[in-house]
């Protein structure tokens, strides 16, 4: 039976828990997590913008 190549194995999804111990992570892993967190911050800020626009539209509608 041939050995499984590393590239064929399912990759573990990178995740980060707030407050997690960082001592065993490499610089590249830390940079990857920073990238993930920046993407998540952008996603959250975009959702805030959508909700604020929706709220503003509702406020304008009910002021009349």
pLDDT at 9: 75
Tally of domains in the chain: 1
pLDDT at 35: 94
Residue 15 lies in a domain: no
Residue 49 lies in a domain: yes
Residue 11 lies in a domain: no
Which of 53, 17, 16 lies closest to 45 in space, CA to CA? Answer: 53
Residue 41 has pLDDT above 60, yes or no: yes
Residue 5 lies in a domain: no
CA distance 49 to 11: 33
pLDDT at 40: 95
Residue 10 has pLDDT above 90, yes or no: no
CA distance 62 to 18: 40
Residue 19 lies in a domain: no
Higher local confidence (pLDDT), 38 or 60: 38
Residue 38 sits in which domain range?
27-64
The structure's pTM equals 0.64
Residue 17 lies in a domain: no
């Amino acid at each position: 039976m041939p050995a499984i190549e590393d590239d064929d194995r399912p990759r573990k999804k990178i995740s980060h828990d707030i407050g997690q111990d960082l001592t065993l992570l490499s610089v590249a892993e830390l940079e990857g997590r920073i990238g993930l967190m920046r993407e998540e911050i952008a996603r959250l800020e975009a959702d805030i913008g959508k909700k604020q626009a929706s709220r503003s539209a509702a406020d304008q509608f009910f002021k009349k």
